[in-house]
Chains A and B, each alone.
Chain A
Amino acid sequence: MTTIANASSGVIGQPMLRREDPKLLSGEARFTDDLKIPGALWIGLVRSPFANAKIISIDTQDAKASPGIVAVYVASDLQSEWAGPIPSAWQVTPDMKSPAHYPLASGKANYVGDPVAVVVGNSPTEVADAVALVDVSYEELPAVVDLEEALTDANVIHEELGTNKCYVWELNPNPQGIEDAFKSAAHVVKERYIQQRLIPAAMEPRSVAVVPSPMGGDYTLYSATQIPHILKVMTALTVGISESKIRVIAPSVGGGFGSKLDVYPEELLCLALARKHKVPVRWTEERTEGAQATIQGRGQVQHIELAADKDGKLLGVRADIIADMGGYQQLITAGVPLLGAFLYHGAYHTPTYAFKCTGVYTNKTPTDAYRGAGRPEATYAIERAMDSLAKTVGVDPAEIRRRNFIPTESFPYNSPAGLVFDSGNYGPNLDQALTAVGYDTLRADQEKRRAEGSTKHLGIGLSFFVEMCGLAPSRVLASLNYAAGGWESATVRILPTSKVQVVTGTAPHGQGHETVWAMIVADKLGISVDDIEVLHSDTSIAPHGMDTYGSRSLSVGGSAVHIATERVLEKAQKIAAHLLEASEDDLEYQGGIFSVKGSPDKTMPLAAIAFEAFTAHNLPDGLEPNLEATTTWDPPNFTFPFGSHIAVVEVDEETGKVELLRYMAVDDCGPRVNPLIVEGQIHGGLAQGIGQALYEEAVYDSAGNLLNATFADYLLPSAAELPTFELGNTVTPSPTNPLGVKGIGEAGAIASPPAVMNAIVDALSHIGPIQIEMPASPERVWKAIQAVRA
C-alpha cells in the first residue's frame, strides 16, 4: 500500500490563531440564552433553603395568580412525565446505593438548592417574582455536612438506603505484599489531606431551550452542554421520548470544566414541559443557582501512606479516601474519584499499591467531574507526600523524585494498579524545568533571605504529574462498570466544489476544535484551512459522538478525524490513478495535487478528483461515488501526559499572605498540533489549579448553607493574581494513537495545586513543619505559623 497518506504538509505544529475567536470576541457567536425563540415559556425553580428538610406542604396559589404565570408544578404533578429518574451512568460497584432522584424533590429536600417546584411563565422576570410567592412549609432536619461524621450514620439522609455510605471500591492486587512493604520500610510517611469542594463557575451559565417541531412529534433541545450526544440518549430515556425524536444542539458554549458533563433537572423539565404545553420552554441559570445547583468538584478526605527504603525508594503506596457524593448521584458522581484510583503512586515506580475509596452522601450540592476529575486529587496526595518523604529521608524534593521515577526504559510500563503507561521520559523533563527556573539560584536566594532574617520567605514548590487522558478504551470502561463506550466518530467529506466538511462527535466548548480539526485535515490534504469547515454539537449533523471531557478530544476525536482523512485520501488516490492512467504506487501527492512520479506534467488536483467523484462519470470499477469517509476510533489505551511544574512563592510571615512570584510548567503532551492552543489550555488550567491552592472553596456551615454563593465571596483568581506563566515542553509521543498526542486540557489544574502548596510549606520549612490545607488563605497560613511557633 501507498505511503501517501502519511505525508504532512507542515500545518501541524503551527501556532495558528483560533478561527472561533472573531465571532466570540465580536459578540456574533450565539449562546443558548441568546437564541430568539418566539412564544417560549420560561421556567424558574423553587429551591429548598434547607439542606435537609421534610417538605410538609407547598402552596402555589399566590404564584399561580401572579402576572404572566401559566402554571406551577410540584413533584406529584409531573410524576407521570418521567420514564425514569435522573440518570446516573456509573454504578461503580454492584451494591452501590443510590437514592431515587427526579427533577423535583418529593417528600424531602436533600441540599440547599434542591428544586421542589417549577414555575412556568411568560418572562424570566415574572417567573422570578412568582418563584418568591410559592409558599413551602418544611420541617428542618439536622444537616449532614462533614464526610467522616456522615459515615457514622448518626443521621441518615436517605432513609430508604439505611445508610449514608454509597459504596466502597477497593483495589488491592497484592495485600500481603503491601503489608510486608510497610513492615520492612525504613521510612513511612502518613499524610491526611482535604480536597475542598470547588464551584466550576463556567463563564457561561447553564441554559436550555426546548422547541417542539411545528409539525409535531419531535423536539430540538438547545443546551449549554458539553455532551449533546449523551444528553440526547439520557433525555430520551428519562422523559420517555424516542431518541430519534430528539435533536440536541449545543450552540456556542462558554466553558464547562465538567460542570456541563451532566444531565440536569432543568433540561428534563424544559423537555417535559415543552411536550406538556406544546410550546417552546426555556431556562437560564442565575449565578447563585449555579453555585448551589450545578455540580461541584472535588470534595474528598484523603489518607496516603508511603513506605520507602533507607534511600527513599518507594516500597509501597497506600491511599484510602472518602469521597463526597453530595445529596444525590449525578451523571458520573460515583466514578469521579476512581479516575484517580490508579494514579496515587504518580510518576513513581512502586512494587506494591493499594487504593480504597468510600463514597458518602451529604446534604450538599452533588459533586461530579471538574477539570481533572480524580486525577488532581491523586496528584495532590502523592506530590505533597513525596515532599514529606524527601524531608523524612533528608534529600532535596527534586532528588526524591528522580530516585523514584519510572525509568524511561520501562515504558510501556505495567503499573502496580494494573494500567499500562504508554510512554514517558520523566528525568529529562524535570531537569529542563529545574534548569529553566534556575533552581539552584532560587535555593541560594532562599538561604540568603533566611540568613538576613527577612519576614518575607521564599518558597520553591515542585510537582511532577502524570495523568491518564484520552477517555477511553471502551473495554476498560466496561471493566469499571461505566455505562458507555469511549470511542469517537468522524466524517470527512469533500464536496463537489472541493470544500471540505469535517463532522466530529466531539463537542467543543472553548477548546478550539474548529481550528485544530481543520489543521489535522489541512495538514494531510495539503489544502488551506479556510477550505475546511468543522461541524459539531448538533446530533442531526453529527449523529454519533461521545462528546468532550477528560482531555479526550484530540487523542480520540482528533485521531478519528485523522483516520477518516486518510481514508478519503486513499479513495482519491484510487480515482487519481484511474484518471491519470497510472499505478497507485507511482503517484505522489503534495499541495493538494496528485502527480505521477517521473512525469511532472501528469497531474490532477484534489478539487478535480472531488468533482469526478461527485459526477461519477468515470470512476474505477467497483468504486462508490463521492469522497467521504466515516470512522469510529476506539483507542487501545489511555494516554499518559506528564510534566514538571515549579511554583515560586513569597510568604509574608506577618500577614500570612502568599504571593505567587513565578510559575514554571514544562508539560509533555506529545506532539502539539497547535502550540498556541496548548499554551492557552495550560494557562487556564493553571489559573484553576492555583485557584484551588490559594483562593477557592465552596464553604458550607454546619446547617449545610453554602456561604459563598456569589462571585463577591467565591474567590476566582483573575489575571491580577497570577504571574506571567513560564512554559516549556518536551515531546514524548504516545504510541496509542496515530497523531501521537496525549491531551493537555486538564494538566494545569492537575499539577498546580501541589506545586503551590509545596512551595508554601517549603517557604516556612525553617520555622517548622507547617500543616496547611487548601485554599491557603492568609489567615490559614498565619495560624499555621502560630501553631508551629507555639
Chain B
Amino acid sequence: MYPASFNYLRASSVREAISMIGDNEDAKFIAGGHSLVPLMKLRLATPSTLVDIGRLTDLSYVREDGGQIAIGALTRHRDLEISPVLNAKAPIIAKVAGQVGDPSVRHKGTIGGSIAHGDGASDLPAAALALDAVFVAEGPSGRREIKSTDFHKGFLETALAPNEVLVEIRIPANIKSWSFQKFNRRAQDWAIVGVAAVKNGSTRVALINMGSTPLRAAGTESAIQSGASLKEAASQADLGLDPPGDLNATVEFRRHLAHVLVGRALEELG
C-alpha cells in the first residue's frame, strides 16, 4: 500500500531534529523506519511530516561509562548483536537484538526506535525493563532521564513528548545471570510471548506481548521475593495482566505460555 503523502526533513543533529519537529504534533521522528513505515503503508499512521534522524551516526555507540553501559539510541540491532562490550558485560541485549525480525530488519532497525515506539510485542523494551534501564531524552530544554519503569504509558504511548528524542539507553554492566525466552512460530516474527529475566541482586522478569505495553511480571517477582518455589513463581507470571488474543494465540494460551516460559527463564537464571 502507498502511504498518505507527507513531508520529509532530514536532520543533521539532535538539536536540529528538535527544531524541525517544533510544535507539530502530527510530525514523527523516524530512524530505521521498521516500525513506523509499515504502519504508514497500511495508513494506520499518517504523520504530516517525518523528521529523519537515521543519519545521526554520533548516536550509534555502545560504551562503558562508570559501571554502566551507555547505548546510543541510533545503534542498529545488528551492531548490538555483535558489540564486544555487550557480549562481555550485558550479553542479554546482544542476544535479544540478534533475534529481532530478520537480517534486513536488524541492519536497519535501532534500539532507540524500538523503545520509543513502545510496542508491547517488541523484545528490546522488555530487555531494558528487566535490566532496570534508564532512558535519556533530549528536548528543547535539554536532556532528562526517564526510568524504564516509568516510560511505557499505554499502547504505543510513552513518556516522551512529541518534540523529545530518545538519545541514550543506560543499563548496568556485569550482567551474569539472565535468560531470554522468545516463543514464536517463525524466526522473523514478534514473540507470541517472550520473557527477559535478569538476576542482579534481585530478580526482574519482563514479559513481551502480554499486554498493551512492555511490562514486568509483578506476580512472579513478588512471589520470588517472598520465597516461593520457581514453579509457584512461574505460575504467577500473568497475575493481574490482561494479555491480548490474536491469530497466533488466544488469551488462555498466552497465559499458559507465560507460565511455561517464565518457568524456563527462572530455571535458567538458577
Residue numbers of A with Cβ under 8 A of B are: 124-125, 128-129, 132, 286-288, 654-655, 657, 694-695, 699, 707-708, 710, 712-713, 715, 717-718, 720-721, 777-779, 782-783
Q: If A707-B247, A712-B38, A782-B253 touch, does A718 touch B2 (CB 8 Å cutoff)? A: no
Given contacts A288-B1, A694-B185, A778-B183, 19 further A-B pairs with CB under 8 A are A125-B2, A132-B43, A286-B1, A286-B2, A288-B42, A654-B260, A655-B261, A695-B185, A699-B247, A710-B42, A712-B189, A718-B102, A720-B186, A721-B186, A777-B185, A778-B253, A779-B249, A779-B250, A782-B253
Instruction: Please tell me which one of the listed residues B5, B186, B253 contacts residue A715 in the complex, with CB atoms under 8 A apart.
Output: B186
Cα–Cα, bound, A139→B128 (Å): 49
Cα–Cα, bound, A710→B260 (Å): 29
B228 within 8 A of A: no
What's the least CB distance linking A562 to chain B, in Å? 42
Cα–Cα, bound, A782→B250 (Å): 12
Find chain B residues with CB under 8 A from A707 CB: 247
Find chain B residues with CB under 8 A from A288 CB: 1, 42
Instruction: Please tell me which one of the listed residues A128, A132, A708, A715 contacts residue B185 in the complex, with CB atoms under 8 A apart.
Output: A715
Closest CB pairs A-B (n = 8):
A720-B187, A128-B2, A779-B253, A654-B260, A286-B1, A125-B2, A721-B186, A779-B249
What's the least CB distance linking B212 to chain A, in Å? 18
Q: If A129-B5, A712-B38 touch, does A782 touch B185 (CB 8 Å cutoff)? A: no
Find chain A residues with CB under 8 A from B189 CB: 712, 715
Cα–Cα, bound, A695→B192 (Å): 14
Cα–Cα, bound, A718→B38 (Å): 20
Q: If A720-B188, A721-B186, A777-B248 touch, does A124 touch B253 (CB 8 Å cutoff)? A: no
Closest to B188 in A: A718
Find chain B residues with CB under 8 A from A699 CB: 247
Find chain A residues with CB under 8 A from B161 CB: none
Find chain B residues with CB under 8 A from A124 CB: 2
Find chain B residues with CB under 8 A from A777 CB: 185, 248
> Are A657 and B183 neighbours in the complex by a CB distance under 8 Å?
yes
B82 within 8 A of A: no
Name the interface residues of B32-54: CB closer than 8 Å to any CB of A.
38, 42-43
> Are B247 and A721 neighbours in the complex by a CB distance under 8 Å?
no
Instruction: Indicate with 1 or 0, residue by residue over B183-202, a CB within 8 angstroms of chain A CB atoms.
Output: 10111110010000000000
> Are B186 and A695 neighbours in the complex by a CB distance under 8 Å?
yes
What's the least CB distance linking B240 to chain A, in Å? 23
Find chain A residues with CB under 8 A from B260 CB: 654-655
B257 within 8 A of A: yes
Instruction: Please tell me which one of the listed residues B2, B185, B187 contacts residue A778 in the complex, with CB atoms under 8 A apart.
Output: B185
Q: Would you call the interface of chain A mostly helix, strand, loop, or mixed?
A: loop
What's the least CB distance linking B156 to chain A, in Å? 15
Cα–Cα, bound, A287→B2 (Å): 11
> Are B186 and A718 neighbours in the complex by a CB distance under 8 Å?
yes
Residue numbers of B with Cβ under 8 A of A are: 1-2, 4-5, 38, 42-43, 102, 183, 185-189, 192, 247-250, 253, 256-257, 260-261
Cα–Cα, bound, A655→B193 (Å): 11
Find chain B residues with CB under 8 A from A779 CB: 248-250, 253
What's the least CB distance linking B137 to chain A, in Å? 29
> Are B38 and A655 neighbours in the complex by a CB distance under 8 Å?
no
> Are A708 and B247 neighbours in the complex by a CB distance under 8 Å?
yes
Q: 15 interchain pairs (CB within 8 A)?
A: A125-B5, A129-B4, A132-B43, A655-B183, A657-B185, A695-B185, A699-B247, A713-B247, A715-B186, A717-B186, A718-B187, A718-B188, A777-B185, A778-B249, A779-B253
Find chain B residues with CB under 8 A from A125 CB: 2, 5
Closest to B261 in A: A655
Find chain A residues with CB under 8 A from B192 CB: 778
What's the least CB distance linking B205 to chain A, in Å? 18
What's the least CB distance linking A121 to chain B, in Å? 12
Find chain A residues with CB under 8 A from B185 CB: 657, 694-695, 715, 777-778
Q: If A125-B5, A718-B102 touch, does A782 touch B256 (CB 8 Å cutoff)? A: yes
What's the least CB distance linking B264 to chain A, in Å? 9
Cα–Cα, bound, A655→B192 (Å): 11
Find chain B residues with CB under 8 A from A718 CB: 102, 186-188
Cα–Cα, bound, A699→B253 (Å): 18
Cα–Cα, bound, A114→B250 (Å): 30
Find chain B residues with CB under 8 A from A721 CB: 186-187
Find chain A residues with CB under 8 A from B5 CB: 125, 129
What's the least CB distance linking B266 to chain A, in Å? 14
Cα–Cα, bound, A718→B250 (Å): 24
Find chain B residues with CB under 8 A from A708 CB: 247
Cα–Cα, bound, A476→B75 (Å): 63
What's the least CB distance linking B8 to chain A, in Å? 14
Closest to B38 in A: A712
Find chain B residues with CB under 8 A from A778 CB: 183, 185, 192, 249, 253
Cα–Cα, bound, A150→B249 (Å): 28
Count chain B CB atoms within 10 A of each CB in A657, A718, A779 and give the residue with the most. Answer: A779
Cα–Cα, bound, A288→B85 (Å): 42
Cα–Cα, bound, A717→B247 (Å): 16
Closest to A778 in B: B185
Find chain A residues with CB under 8 A from B256 CB: 782
Closest to B1 in A: A286
Find chain A residues with CB under 8 A from B250 CB: 779
Cα–Cα, bound, A717→B189 (Å): 11
Instruction: Please tell me which one of the listed residues A286, A655, A694, A720 contacts residue B257 in the complex, with CB atoms under 8 A apart.
Output: A655
Find chain A residues with CB under 8 A from B248 CB: 777, 779
Count chain B CB atoms within 10 A of each CB in A124, A128, A129, A707 and give the residue with the most. Answer: A128
Find chain A residues with CB under 8 A from B38 CB: 712
Cα–Cα, bound, A783→B4 (Å): 42
What's the least CB distance linking B108 to chain A, in Å? 16
Find chain B residues with CB under 8 A from A655 CB: 183, 257, 260-261
Cα–Cα, bound, A717→B188 (Å): 10
Cα–Cα, bound, A778→B186 (Å): 11
Cα–Cα, bound, A777→B253 (Å): 11
Cα–Cα, bound, A59→B170 (Å): 55
Find chain A residues with CB under 8 A from B253 CB: 778-779, 782-783
Cα–Cα, bound, A778→B4 (Å): 37
Cα–Cα, bound, A777→B254 (Å): 13
Find chain A residues with CB under 8 A from B4 CB: 129
Find chain A residues with CB under 8 A from B188 CB: 718, 720
Cα–Cα, bound, A777→B184 (Å): 10
What's the least CB distance linking B98 to chain A, in Å? 13
Cα–Cα, bound, A288→B260 (Å): 35
Cα–Cα, bound, A580→B118 (Å): 84
Closest to B193 in A: A655
Cα–Cα, bound, A694→B186 (Å): 10
Cα–Cα, bound, A128→B42 (Å): 12
What's the least CB distance linking A574 to chain B, in Å? 59
Cα–Cα, bound, A707→B42 (Å): 14
What's the least CB distance linking B263 to chain A, in Å? 9
Find chain A residues with CB under 8 A from B247 CB: 699, 707-708, 713
Closest to A127 in B: B2
Closest to B263 in A: A654
Closest to B254 in A: A779
What's the least CB distance linking A286 to chain B, in Å? 5
